[in-house]
Amino acid sequence: MIAKLLTLALLCASALAAEKPNLVLIIADDMNWDDNGAYGHPKIHTPNIDALAKGGMLFEHAYLTANSCSPSRASIITGRYPHNTGAEQLHWPLPKESLTFVEQLKASGYYTAAAGKWHLGKDVVDRFDDVFEASTAGFILPTGADKKSGKMIAKSPSGCEDWLSTLQNRPKKKPFFLWFAALDPHREYEKDAFQPPHKSDSVRLPPYV
């Protein structure tokens, strides 16, 4: 699927998009910044992500000051330090009055969509044109069920299956911003979900452990 996503992303350039580049932000819980080939990990192979990175931009000096899911997302989408977002604690929703960079992109003519894990609360879901939300508990939500805002929810627990359809069904005459958030790297929510666990000799420990 990621290969198809990559192909579509590379083929969707237009005169408008040349002036306003298409933007894809991929977020994953419990995944270190260098847990992929693009940043030089010796054992984790991510050829499609590497290809996207090669044709795009690498963040080499980007830092978050929160160590949990929702405060980090709130910080990214607002551009504020976590303690200034009003959602500095885990599971706190982003306040309705929050200004995000998504509004700025929409004002500049971008189509905006989010797919996968949301975890920012209900008050700012309307900042995107479309949101395909996966369950943060890892359970499948009813396929195609409408939310009150008219948005569609995810077809799979991770939400990744919606990445491709979101890209395919976007307005073709607009540049786009896609916020893709995967649940897949997140540790399981249930005890002993992995049977058997990873073998110790197959795991590369960081030098600070």
Residue 23's region, left for phi above 0, alpha for psi from -120 to 50, else beta, is beta
Q: Quick check: bond before 21 cis, omega within 30?
A: no
E strands, 13-169, in order:
23-28, 111-117, 130-134
Is residue 5 classed exposed, middle or buried when 0-12, 13-18 and 19+ CB atoms within 10 A define those classes?
A: buried
CA atoms within 13 A of residue 106's CA, in its CB half-sphere: 12
- Active-site entry in 12, 69, 83, 160: 69
Catalytic-residue membership of 69: yes
Choose, from 119, 160, 186, 198, the residue flagged as catalytic.
119
Question: Which residues are part of the catalytic machinery?
Answer: 69, 119
